[in-house]
Amino acid sequence: MPIAIALHGGAGTILRSEMSPDKESRYTSALRIALEAAYHCLSKQGAALDAVEIAVKSLEDCSLFNAGKGSVFTADGTHEMDASIMDGRDRTAGAVSLVTGIKNPIHLARLVMEQSDHVLLAGAGAMKFALKMQCEMKDEAYFYDEYRYQQWQSIKDTDGFQLDHSAQNKKTPKNLGTVGAVACDIHGNIAAATSTGGMTNKRWGRIGDSSIIGAGTYANNRTCAVSCTGSGEYFLRGVVAYDVSCLMEYKNLSLQDAATKVV
């Protein structure tokens, strides 16, 4: 079976005018490092599930992306992260929402999948579970990023919230930067993983699609593996990742046709 890996660093638009050659090479090299680490795993006959976790962890450790270290600021000036992972072999899945101070939320999601009887843990409960699992924690300074801070400052006193990276339209901001990966291993098993800091200036315990199995993440060996990025509210309403899989399973659509129809 041929191995495959695909990853993304968010759906936002970074304007050409804002992209210097240096910045561009930092983005591409961070993506390449994640890609190569995951590919290495797959080429050593590693599992798709391990490969997607490796890719997402690598991007979570890089402040350029809105996940883990580079997570955007909430309205309270904190970082609340969401992540999920799914194994296409048997559709087991794990997810966490609204976690803070966790170095790699995707790893915590995997622990939920493998070490608990649950699929999704959120907030204070998820943090207790992380403590029990001795998950690696980081202090606020680790998550501080001047660029993210300035993004937050620009909308902090408004009701607006925004995704990461936009064409700088402050009234209807569109900023994204979530990370995700899908992979197929040598045994033909597939997996998907997604991680995000959500949206800048988000309030009220807002949870997007990234930690919701079926909305932002889905994997099923019979169909496909999906990791979404974009305005989570739309992906939640459309149950997008599952919808793509369903069109393939029930209507025999190709992945391309299913994805095009849903999008």
11 in contact with ligand ASP (CB under 6 A): yes
In the bound complex, what is the minimum distance in angstroms from residue 112's beta carbon to ligand ASP? Answer: 18
80 in contact with ligand ASP (CB under 6 A): no
Contact at 8 Å (CB) between 211 and 109?
yes
| Active site annotation includes 178 | yes
Catalytic residue among 74, 100, 178, 196: 178
What six digits make up the tokens of 65? 């992306």
Beta bridge partners of 120: 95
- Helix 21-43 to helix 48-60 angle (10° resolution) is 160
93 in contact with ligand ASP (CB under 6 A): no
Among 178, 195, 217, 245, binds ligand ASP (CB under 6 A): 178
Q: Which is nearer to ligand ASP, 68 or 216 (CB)?
A: 216
Distance CA 74, CA 96 (A): 17
Beta strand 179-184 pairing with 217-219: unpaired
Footprint on residues 35-74 left by ligand ASP (CB under 6 A): 66
Beta strand 120-122 pairing with 92-99: parallel
Q: Which residues contact 158 (CB under 8 A, 6 or more apart)?
A: 201
Binding mask 201-240 for ligand ASP (x = CB under 6 A): -------xxx-----x------------xxxx--------
Distance CA 59, CA 1 (A): 27
Which residue's Cβ has the minimum distance to ligand ASP? Answer: 232
CA distances from 259 to 194, 228, 244, 247 (A): 17, 11, 6, 9
Beta bridge partners of 182: 6, 192
Contact at 8 Å (CB) between 54 and 107?
no
In the bound complex, what is the minimum distance in angstroms from residue 198's beta carbon to ligand ASP? Answer: 4
Q: Which is nearer to ligand ASP, 120 or 199 (CB)?
A: 199
In the bound complex, what is the minimum distance in angstroms from residue 252's beta carbon to ligand ASP? Answer: 29
In the bound complex, what is the minimum distance in angstroms from residue 195's beta carbon to ligand ASP? Answer: 10
In the bound complex, what is the minimum distance in angstroms from residue 74's beta carbon to ligand ASP? Answer: 11
Q: Which residues are catalytic?
A: 178
Binding site residues, ligand ASP, CB under 6 A: 10-11, 66, 163-164, 176-178, 196, 198-199, 208-210, 216, 229-232
